[in-house]
């Protein structure tokens, strides 16, 4: 069953289609080819408080999952994480869908997510489908929402503008409803789209400059505007609680400032008993008598800075702590999560 994946489209009848993709003419075998890269460092979205304006910007939903590059070759499919790790075996449904696209060579850029019943990406559900942090389970429920095409049919597309890459990607994925789908562009004013995303409980929107090539890193060509703030923080310990399920009352969190760790508060909601049990067991193994942040408390158990948690929050207090924080899940090392850096 196809889950709803276009919550921001105001006109469901609107479709943007181009001419059908033509197959390469076998009578012209000597067309120029570009070598296919083993890995492309991803283009990352720069966080902004408000969406840009003007016709140069295209908008998409911000998906909440794992960034993946899908490398398709005649010899097979490789699925590479943002950190450069091969996770082909972790996403078998996406790999099978890539083979079924019927292309010789391609590199798709996208986000693997697990959708809930309302068609929204659920980071916690994705984590559980993979067996949790450090788990080795294969996720059969994941769907890749592809939003860029970096290499196609022997040609490097990274130097072409986004509008051309999207044109080819739309042709390639036209009508796809399986484990690989097109991340649709949504039409409208950025501020209105952000408000629609907020009312639907989505994480936010992405804005991309239509005329820019694909450039690695946070160049400002892509922007992310969030409805709810969500960042990665280091877990530096926990507060014991006999009353809490799993024995954890709250997790102690830290951010980076240069080479130092800075305490940014605790989070005591968002994790289930199974999460708390795993966290307590793992943090106890990382136990240290010397905390990396200057905290004291008889119920505090300090840990070496190893586990990175994704935390949703509503802002900052005057004393530099997270406000209304909620635990979403642990980030994988292979996901190359960056711990939040304080200015």
| Dihedral (CA of 4, 9, 15, 19) sign | negative
**Cα 155 to Cα 174: distance, rounded to the nearest angstrom:** 20
What phi-psi label fits residue 175: left (phi over 0), alpha (psi between -120 and 50 degrees) or beta?
A: left
CA–CA gap between residue 14 and residue 328 (Å, rounded): 34
The residue annotated as part of the active site, out of 17, 23, 48, 62, is 62
Token readout for 167 is 């044109």
Contact 95, 133 (CB under 8 A): no
**Spatial separation of the C-alpha atoms in residues 252 and 6, rounded to whole Å:** 37
Would you give the end-to-end CA distance of the chain in angstroms?
A: 46
Torsion of CA 98, 104, 105, 109, to 10 degrees: -30
Contact (CB, 8 A) for 94 and 178? no
Q: Which residue has the tokens 């960034």?
A: 67
CA distance 114 to 13: 26
Residue 23 annotated in active site: no
Catalytic residues: 62
């Amino acid at each position: 069953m196809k889950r709803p994946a276009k919550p921001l489209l105001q006109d469901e009848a609107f479709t943007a289609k181009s001419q059908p993709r033509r197959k390469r003419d076998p009578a012209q075998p000597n067309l120029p080819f570009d070598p296919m890269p083993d890995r492309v460092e991803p283009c990352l979205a720069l966080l902004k408080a408000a969406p840009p304006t003007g016709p140069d910007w295209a908008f998409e939903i911000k998906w909440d999952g794992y960034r993946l590059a899908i490398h398709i070759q005649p010899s097979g499919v490789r699925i590479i994480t943002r950190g450069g790790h091969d996770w082909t075996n972790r996403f078998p449904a996406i790999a099978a869908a890539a083979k079924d696209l019927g292309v010789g060579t391609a590199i798709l850029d996208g986000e693997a997510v697990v959708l809930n019943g309302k068609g929204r990406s659920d980071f916690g559900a994705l984590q559980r489908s993979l067996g949790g942090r450090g788990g080795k389970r294969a996720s059969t429920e994941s769907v890749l929402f592809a939003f860029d095409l970096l290499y196609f049919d022997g040609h490097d597309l990274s130097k072409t503008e986004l509008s051309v890459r999207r044109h080819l990607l739309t042709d390639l994925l036209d009508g796809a409803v399986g484990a690989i789908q097109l991340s649709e562009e949504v039409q409208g004013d950025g501020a209105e789209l952000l408000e629609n995303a907020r009312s639907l409980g989505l994480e936010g929107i992405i804005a991309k400059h239509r005329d820019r090539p694909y450039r690695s890193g946070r160049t400002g060509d892509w922007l992310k505007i969030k409805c709810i703030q969500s960042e990665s923080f280091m877990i530096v310990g926990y507060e014991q609680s006999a009353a809490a399920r799993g024995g954890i009352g709250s997790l102690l969190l830290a951010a980076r400032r240069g080479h130092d760790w800075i305490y940014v508060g605790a989070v005591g909601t968002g994790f289930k008993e199974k999460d708390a049990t795993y966290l307590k067991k793992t943090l106890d193994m990382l136990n240290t008598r010397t905390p990396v942040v200057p905290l004291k408390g008889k119920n505090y158990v300090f840990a070496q800075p190893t586990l990175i948690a994704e935390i949703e929050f509503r802002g900052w207090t005057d004393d530099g702590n997270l406000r209304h924080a909620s635990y979403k899940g642990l980030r994988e090392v292979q996901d190359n999560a960056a711990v939040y850096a304080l200015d």
